[in-house]
Structure 1
Amino acid sequence: MDDPNRAARRIRSLLPVLIVVCALAQLGAVLGVTRFIADTVTDAPPRAHSGASKTPGRTTADGDEQHANARRIAIGALLERRAGAVLSRDREAFTSTLDPQNAEFRQSQIGVFDNIAEVPFAGWEYEVVTPDAFELSDARKSALGAPVLTAHVDLLYRITGHDVAAVRVPQYLTFVLRAGTWYLAADTDGAATGMRTPAQVWDLGPVTVVQGTHSTVLGIGTRDVIREFADIADKAVPRVSAVWGESWPGRTVVVVPGTQAQMARLLGAEPGKYAKIAAVTTGERGAAADAAAADRVIVNPDAFRELGDLERRVVMTHEIAHVASRAFTRAWTPTWLSEGFADYVGYLDSAQTMRTAAPELRRDVKAGKVPERLPADASFETTQEDLPQAYEMGWLACKLIAERWGQAKLVDLYRTVGAERPPGVDAPDSASALASAMVSVLGTNPDSFTRTWLDYLRTQAG
């Protein structure tokens, strides 16, 4: 086992390694989620044209609408065949949906089909969100040499044994009509207008799948390497359940790209953005426990490789704590509570102290630079100079609650803050939700708790 002091220092040196990715409009390094949210599925309004149709009693607009509906029906049928081919592992049927005159795209798509051979899909389907989603340049239309249709289409997929609800991934597709048959011609044409199809792990190469006792790991690499992640996750899940309880599925999906650059591609980020981040968790914040969209722990293999055994355990346990608590993590949940709780679970039984696991905060306190309050959500942004201290403050706040009021009360506080509001009741702000929960669960209020916490920091700093 690694020396706990050295392990803590190395974990903190990789901060922010323990964050949850937020992607509501774009990716951001604050507590949250990567949400693939579909727009309301509506047909595009019929185009208005002047003039009469050649058919008595029928307008040109009517004819255009019928034509548009016919195209949507044809595209829907094409996508249904494509989905069926994926689920039935029918390579020939899948290939038949691809533009026969675009050899490069066909080979790329067939390669993706081959990459998912091991992935245990419980579902794979498409929804057309917006027909005519983006315009093609005249040069692009000329290169295709046939009638075209663009569309924003959502891919919905589920991993067997894990996903109750589907992961929803936006795709921006180009279809082409050749000899009376529609084919899929491209998935990158929308990028010119900012409509980029997000990468999935199977876009990176052949996916190796390892089924653990409590995990399914999808990775790019050898089976032995991928199995190591399954072993770490399998040990972390029971640790999380021992604290959080059994009110979550008790299983997780871990995604292991081959490189840090591939991790960044999965997260739609610049290659160097996650250089010092060992893992992130993606998922839908605050989804009901019985209908939660799928969470994923995404590993940065380059950073993870630098960690020792204890550090890897802490990081994986932290991330899976986010998975377990997702249904009770709301927009108003204070980041210090969500990140502090995950750190508390990660560090539990690791003999960590403020000296070893919160050295930056301890240095500040001993120098008389004592915080006045618990860290605000903005303190957890990756650009913050005092980011390590924010995590350390959150951890010590949750550690104090567990020591003073009991571990069960810490969990109860988290759940109470994130309790789902009845229909018609406005969501609370972070301060009011926390204040109400502290009174009902701990019998104290935020001001009194903060004073107790500050005394605790001084005592722990020695």
Structure 2
Amino acid sequence: MADPARRLGPNAVAVLVLIALGAGLLLWQRPWQGSDDVVVGIPADAASQLATQFRALTDADSESAFVTAAGTSGAAKAFARRAWRARTALGAEAVELRYVSGGEVADHPDGSASATVDVSWRAGGEIGLSDTSVHTSSVTFRVAPQADGRFSLVSAAPDDGALPIWLAGDVTVERSPGSVVIQVDGGDAELPVESMATTARSAVGRVVPGTKGDVTVVSPHTQSQMARLVGQPLDEVRQIAAVTTRLDGRGGSSADTVIVLNPAVFSTMDRRAAQVVLTHEATHLLTHAVGTRAESWVVEGFADFVALHDDTASLSISAGQILAEVKAGRAPKHLPTTTDFGAESHGLGAVYESAWMIFRMLAQTYGDERVVGFYEAVLSGTALDKALSTSFGLTVDQLTTRWQDYLAKSASTVS
């Protein structure tokens, strides 16, 4: 027989029952877990549902419609609002998102999946780009299933090629005479990119009269964003301060060319060095050098010729690396090749300097006008030997010998 002193009274039993019910309710509601964190299974008709949602995103004609189509989670709403604002800032038109595949199998611990989508759009002319060219990208969207059978679209990453800039983050556009700067998540906060872009535009115009169009600069906040925007692996852009490329990396015309900065490198430079880089890239952009088959030393050497045209730094600064090589008995035996300009090439700085010294030598002997004429001839498809003969009366071998002598003489004048 149980000890009466150890029996629970009615009130105590009632309290225990209430505690048990409360604990059960707590476990069921999980108030510590936000609604976005609840793992929901992927519906059987995932492909059909995603195709419908991306069509709705394409058809959306307002921010509210776009946000609604992106899903109900907080992450989806924030992502959609940011993307819509970026589209608006860029004047994006004819935006289309076409579901291709994926989203049917969870590939992340939170139950989300990845879906491949073809994205196309046209940029507004007010950002200095063609308003007729269609930009296309293959994009991987992170999609999280919802309890109502739809999905929340929470992020985007490049699948094949570059990420559309309006999917990269918060976008703002700064316009100045002759230049446009597109900032992603605030861009580079260390240097005055807007005024530097205007300076670059003016510098190119002074050396190459008749150049038309604006310099459009994309200034990401992180190196990772830069890699995504140019469609390159992170390791391949770590040493690059800036690159001139067609927006989204595909198709388009020379009018769709932009300069994309790498803040991890560009923002660490002093003002002079950063300006040289930006003017160098602006030369590529404004002379339509992107995609040309011209010899690399012509394209890169001329860009540095423009960038350093009015520079007052000594040769020990502007050409210190190549002149040190010459003084050490390692003078180049031939004109720089395309391989020499490879991003992973050893002594890349010396290669660029050596190409610049070719144009510096030619300008000192023949003047800017003939140098510009030579560059434009090669860029338009004239064979190198013919352009050299027409502009300067030189053969490739004669140019090489004169350049080697010029390097040796220059090296002897610097300490």
In structure 2, how many angstroms separate the alpha carbons of the residues matched to 1:120 and 1:137?
33
CA displacement, residues 121-151 of structure 1 (integer Å, 9 cap, x when unaligned): 15342375xx7x44555557xx999xx9976
2:30 alignment partner in structure 1 = none
TM-score by length of 1: 0.66
2:265 alignment partner in structure 1 = 303
1:160 maps to a residue whose letter is: G
Structure 1 counterpart of 2:123, from 146, 158, 162: 158
1:253 maps to a residue whose letter is: T
Q: 1:186 deviation in Å?
A: 7.2
2:69 maps to a residue whose letter is: T
TM-score by length of 2: 0.72
Within a 5 Å distance, the mapping from 1:279-428 to structure 2 comes to 279-283=242-246, 291-326=253-288, 328-419=289-380
2:401 maps to a residue whose letter is: R
1:435 alignment partner in structure 2 = 385
Asked if the contact 2:56–2:66 (Cα under 8 Å) also holds between the matched residues in 1, the reply is: no
1:18 alignment partner in structure 2 = none
Stretches of structure 1 that go unaligned for 5 or more consecutive residues are 1-69, 421-431
1:170 alignment partner in structure 2 = 138
Q: 1:322 deviation in Å?
A: 1.1
Bigger Rg, which one = 2
1:41 alignment partner in structure 2 = none
Over 3 Å counting, the alpha-carbon distance change for 1:310 and 1:118 in structure 2 is farther
Q: Could you say what secondary structure the match of 1:154 adopts?
A: strand
Instruction: Choose between structure 1 and 2 for higher RCO, CA contacts under 8 A separated by at least 6 residues.
Output: 1
1:105 alignment partner in structure 2 = 76
CA displacement, residues 169-218 of structure 1 (integer Å, 9 cap, x when unaligned): 3335699999xx99885776xx8xx9357434444542232211121212
Over 3 Å counting, the alpha-carbon distance change for 1:440 and 1:170 in structure 2 is farther
**What is the Cα-based RMSD across aligned positions, in Å?**
4.1
In structure 1, how many angstroms separate the alpha carbons of the residues matched to 2:162 and 2:305?
33
Over 3 Å counting, the alpha-carbon distance change for 1:76 and 1:415 in structure 2 is farther
CA displacement, residues 201-260 of structure 1 (integer Å, 9 cap, x when unaligned): 4445422322111212121466994992111111110110111222321x1221112233
2:345 maps to a residue whose letter is: Q
1:458 alignment partner in structure 2 = 408
Q: 1:376 deviation in Å?
A: 0.7
Structure 2 counterpart of 1:216, from 174, 180, 187: 180
**2:240 equivalent to 1:248:** no
**2:190 equivalent to 1:229:** no
1:445 alignment partner in structure 2 = 395
In structure 2, how many angstroms separate the alpha carbons of the residues matched to 1:197 and 1:340?
28
2:386 maps to a residue whose letter is: S
Q: 1:356 deviation in Å?
A: 2.3
In structure 2, how many angstroms separate the alpha carbons of the residues matched to 1:239 and 1:348?
8
2:59 alignment partner in structure 1 = 81
Over 3 Å counting, the alpha-carbon distance change for 1:168 and 1:248 in structure 2 is farther
1:98 maps to a residue whose letter is: A
Range with bigger deviation, 165-174 or 372-381: 165-174
2:10 alignment partner in structure 1 = none
Range with bigger deviation, 301-310 or 168-177: 168-177
Structure 2 counterpart of 1:95, from 67, 79, 82: 67
2:22 alignment partner in structure 1 = none
CA displacement, residues 398-448 of structure 1 (integer Å, 9 cap, x when unaligned): 21222222212222222211226xxxxxxxxxxx82122222332222111
2:205 maps to a residue whose letter is: S
Q: Could you say what secondary structure the match of 2:79 adopts?
A: helix
CA displacement, residues 274-293 of structure 1 (integer Å, 9 cap, x when unaligned): 44433222228xx99x9524
Q: 1:110 deviation in Å?
A: 2.6
In structure 2, how many angstroms separate the alpha carbons of the residues matched to 1:360 and 1:437?
29
Q: 1:344 deviation in Å?
A: 0.9
Q: 1:333 deviation in Å?
A: 1.0
Asked if the contact 2:230–2:260 (Cα under 8 Å) also holds between the matched residues in 1, the reply is: no
Asked if the contact 1:156–1:169 (Cα under 8 Å) also holds between the matched residues in 2, the reply is: no
In structure 1, how many angstroms separate the alpha carbons of the residues matched to 2:82 and 2:106?
27
2:95 alignment partner in structure 1 = 125
Q: 1:397 deviation in Å?
A: 0.9
In structure 2, how many angstroms separate the alpha carbons of the residues matched to 1:361 and 1:185?
51
In structure 2, how many angstroms separate the alpha carbons of the residues matched to 1:302 and 1:236?
21
2:16 alignment partner in structure 1 = none
In the alignment of these two chains, the number of paired residues is 360
In structure 2, how many angstroms separate the alpha carbons of the residues matched to 1:94 and 1:341?
46
Over 3 Å counting, the alpha-carbon distance change for 1:187 and 1:157 in structure 2 is farther
Identity of aligned residues (%): 23
Asked if the contact 1:151–1:174 (Cα under 8 Å) also holds between the matched residues in 2, the reply is: no
Structure 2 counterpart of 1:264, from 227, 241, 255: 227
Stretches of structure 2 that go unaligned for 5 or more consecutive residues are 1-47
Over 3 Å counting, the alpha-carbon distance change for 1:461 and 1:257 in structure 2 is same
Asked if the contact 1:255–1:299 (Cα under 8 Å) also holds between the matched residues in 2, the reply is: yes
